[in-house]
Amino acid sequence: MIDIQDLNVTFSTGADLVHAVKNVSCRITAGESFGLVGESGSGKSTVLRALCGLATDWSGRVSIDGEALEPTARRSDSFYKTVQMVFQDPYGSLHPRHTVNRILSEPIAIQGLDKPGPRVEEALEQVGLGHGFRFRFPHQLSGGQRQRVAIARALILKPKILLLDEPTSALDVSVQAEVLNLLMRLREELSLTFVLVSHDLAVVSHICDRIAVMRNGEVVEEVTADELARGEPGQRYTRQLLVASRGYDREAIDQFEDFG
Amino acid sequence: MTDLSTRSPTGLKAWLTNENPESHLQASCGRAYYAWLDFAANRLALLGLIIVGLLVLVAALAPLLATASPIAPDLQSRLLPPSADYWFGTDELGRDIYSRIVYGTRLTLYVVVLVAIIAAPVGLLVGTSAGYFGGWIDKVLMRITDIFLAFPRLILALAFVSALGPGIENAIFAIAITSWPPYARIARAETLTIRRADYIAAIRLQGASAGRVIWGHVVPLCTSSIIVRVTLDMAGIILTAAGLGFLGLGAQPPLPEWGAMISSGRKFLLDQWWLASIPGIAIFVVSLGFNLLGDGLRDVLDPKSGD
C-alpha cells in the first residue's frame, strides 16, 4: 500500500540546512496499522508531511497505492481520495470561522461529489456526533469533539489510508481513550490503513501492529506490538522509551541515558 | 436576584442562542447576535454607530430634510446669520447652509463608500496573495506596495488629481489609489500567521486550489482587521477629500462638498463665522463617529481578542 525507499527530507538550504529524515525505508501493507514513535524532533511527523505533500524538499522513492509520488505540493485528485490526515492540535486544525457543516462539505465540493447533505450526516454519525453538532462553530466544541470533527473531515472522502499525526496528544487522558477506541472501531468498519505518529509508546502499541522507532531522523529499529508487549525490544533506546511511557518514575528516570 | 439559567428564553432570543442550530443561517445569526451584545456594551461605539447611521439616513432623505435648494443662489439674502428661516445661516451667494450640509452628506458618503469599495478589496487581494504564495510574488507585490507607501497620501492624491483633472470622481480615484497599501500590509501580515495553520494544511490535503484557499479560508480571517482599519481610516478619507475640496481639486462648485464650503467660507471667517465653522463641525462629527465605530468594531471583530 505504502512503499517508502530511502526517504530523505531536508529543510532550508546552505548553512541552516536541517536533515530531518535520513534514509528511512518501510513498507506498509493494506489494512495494516503502522506506528512511528520517537521523541520530539526525531522526524516522525516529517515523514508524514512528506508523504502527503506538505513537506516538499525530499528525495527517495515513495509510492502509495501503486502511484509513485513526486516531491511537489500538488497531487492528483485520486491521491486526495486515497490519503487523508488527522492533525495533532484539534484547536488549530479547524477553521475558526467555519461551521462544522462547512468544514465537512468543503471536501465534497472540491472533489465534486454528489449528495453533500447525507454525506455530512453520515460522517458525523460515524464519529459519534449527532445532528445537533452540524451547524456549530468550533469554539462551541470541546477538544475531543473537535478531534472527532477532524476525523470526520478526513473520512468524508472515503480514503483508504489515514495518516494520524499525534491524534490524541493534545487531549486529556479520558478523552484520549475515547478517540483511540473510535479510531480502532473506524479502522475495523472501514478497513483503513493507519500510519500513526506518536511520542507515546502506550498509544502506539495499543493501536499498531508494527512500530518503527525513530531517533534523530533515522529508524533505530522496527518491532512488532507483541514484542513490545513482552517488553523485549532490541535497542536500549526503545526500552527507555517504553519505561518513559509507563509514567514518571524517579528511579527509572535517574538511570536514563542521553542518546542525543 | 433571578436565576437566569433556569428561565428558558423563548422566541427570537431562544432561536439566536440555541446551542444546536438547525441551519447555517441560524448559526451565523447566533454568532452575529453575540457579537452585537459585545458591541452594544460599548457606549462610545454605539454613539459612533448612531452618528454613522444618522449620516446615512440624512443622505437618503436629503430632499425631504432640506429646506431650500443647495445650489440655487439668492443674492437678496447673502451672508445672513443663523435664524429661524436659515438654521445655519446663508453663504456669500445666499444659499442656505443647512440645506448644503444636508446634501453634502451624500458627497461625503459617496467618497467614503467608493474609496472603501475600491481600496479594501485591492489591498486584501494584493496582501493575501503576497502572504500566501511567498517567494518572488511576495517580493514584487510588496515592493509595489512600498512604492505607494513612500509618498505622503495627500501629496500623491494631489499629483493624481492634477494629472487627471479636478473633480469628485478623480478625487475618489486618487484617494483610493493612495489608501490601499496599508490594507495590503495588514492582510499580508495576517496571512503569514494563518498560512502555516493546520486548517490550511487540511484543506490543501483535500485538493483545494490556491484560489479557494485564499478566498474561502484566508480572506475571512483577514477581513475583520481590514474592516476595522477601513472604518478607522474613514475619518482620514473624509479629511483628505475635504482637503482636496479645500484646495479646489475635489468637488467643483456649486457642489455642496464640506471641504469646498470651508474653503469658500475662509474669506468671511472673522465676520461671518458660520460659513466655515458649520461644515467644519460637520466634518468633525462624522470623523469622530467613524473613529468611535472603528474602535468598537476592533473590540468585537479582532480575531486575537478571544473567540
- If you measure CA to CA, which chain A residue comes closest to B193? A92
The answer to whether residue B142 scores a pLDDT higher than 90 is yes
What integer pLDDT is reported at residue B3 of this predicted model? 47
Predicted ipTM of the assembly: 0.87
Structural domain containing residue A10: 2-254
**Domain assignment present for B21:** no
**Domain assignment present for B266:** yes
The mean per-residue pLDDT over the stretch A15-23 comes to: 85
Burial class (CB in 10 A: 0-12, 13-18, 19+), A60: middle
**Domain assignment present for B93:** no
B199: domain CATH number is 1.10.3720.10
The three-state DSSP-derived secondary structure of B166-231 is CCHHHHHHHHHHHHHHHHHHHHHHHHHHHCCCHHHHHHHCCCCCHHHHHHHHHHHHHHHHHHHHHH
The mean per-residue pLDDT over the stretch B82-106 comes to: 88
What integer pLDDT is reported at residue B125 of this predicted model? 94
Contact A135 B27 (CB under 8 A): yes
Percent of chain B whose predicted confidence (pLDDT) is above 70: 95
**Domain assignment present for A260:** no
**Domain assignment present for B30:** no
The model's pLDDT over B180-213, given as tens digits with 9 standing for 90+, comes to 999 999 999 999 999 889 999 999 988 888 999 9
**Domain assignment present for B211:** yes
A50: domain CATH number is 3.40.50.300
- If you measure CA to CA, which chain B residue comes closest to A84? B205
What integer pLDDT is reported at residue A97 of this predicted model? 87
Between residues B77 and B1, which one has the greater pLDDT?
B77
Query: What is the distance in angstroms between the Cα of A258 and the nearest Cα belonging to chain B?
Result: 32
Contact A85 B202 (CB under 8 A): yes
What integer pLDDT is reported at residue B1 of this predicted model? 43
What integer pLDDT is reported at residue B6 of this predicted model? 47
For chains A and B, CB pairs below 8 A equal 80
**Domain assignment present for A259:** no
Measured between alpha carbons, how far is B34 from B84 in angstroms, rounded to an integer? 45
The answer to whether residue A240 scores a pLDDT higher than 50 is yes
The model's pLDDT over B209-254, given as tens digits with 9 standing for 90+, comes to 899 999 999 998 898 889 888 988 888 888 888 888 888 888 888 8
| Sheet of A83-86, strand order | A83-86, A161-165, A193-198, A33-37, A210-215, A218-224
Contact A87 B27 (CB under 8 A): no
Interface test with A, best of B199, B214, B217, B304 (most A CBs within 10 A): B199
Query: What is the distance in angstroms between the Cα of A72 and the nearest Cα belonging to chain B?
Result: 12
**Domain assignment present for A51:** yes
Number of domains in chain B: 1
Burial class (CB in 10 A: 0-12, 13-18, 19+), B4: exposed
Contact B20 A101 (CB under 8 A): no
The three-state DSSP-derived secondary structure of chain A is CEEEEEEEEEECCHHHCEEEEEEEEEEECCCCEEEEECCCCCCHHHHHHHHHCCCCCEEEEEEECCEECCCCCCCCHHHHHHEEEECCCCCCCCCCCCCHHHHHHHHHHHCCCCCHHHHHHHHHHHCCCCHHHCCCCHHHCCHHHHHHHHHHHHHCCCCCEEEEECCCCCCCHHHHHHHHHHHHHHHHHHCCEEEEEECCHHHHHHHCCEEEEEECCEEEEEEEHHHHHCCCCCCHHHHHHHHHHCCCCHHHHHCCCCCC
Residue A58: phi and psi, rounded to 5, are -135, 160
**Domain assignment present for B31:** no
What integer pLDDT is reported at residue A52 of this predicted model? 86
The model's pLDDT over A96-136, given as tens digits with 9 standing for 90+, comes to 889 999 999 999 999 988 888 899 999 999 998 888 888 88
Band (pLDDT 50/70/90 cuts) for residue B303 is low
DSSP B99: H
What integer pLDDT is reported at residue A65 of this predicted model? 86
CB atoms within 10 A of CB A50: 26
Which residue bears the cell 483503513?
Answer: A192
Within 8 A of B24 by CB-CB distance, chain A residues are: 99, 101-102, 135
Contact A80 B207 (CB under 8 A): yes
Instruction: Provide residues of B within 8 Å CB-CB of chain A.
Output: 19-24, 26-27, 31, 197-199, 201-208, 212, 216-217, 220-221, 303, 307
Contact A95 B212 (CB under 8 A): no
The answer to whether residue B48 scores a pLDDT higher than 90 is yes
Band (pLDDT 50/70/90 cuts) for residue A260 is low
- If you measure CA to CA, which chain A residue comes closest to B219? A97
The answer to whether residue A196 scores a pLDDT higher than 90 is yes
Whole-Å CA distances, A10 to A52, B26, B134, B189, B262: 15, 47, 19, 26, 65
Percent of chain A whose predicted confidence (pLDDT) is above 90: 29
Band (pLDDT 50/70/90 cuts) for residue B5 is very low
Average pLDDT, chain A: 87
**Domain assignment present for B111:** yes
Structural domain containing residue B114: 105-301
Query: What is the distance in angstroms between the Cα of B151 and the nearest Cα belonging to chain A?
Result: 36
**Domain assignment present for B254:** yes
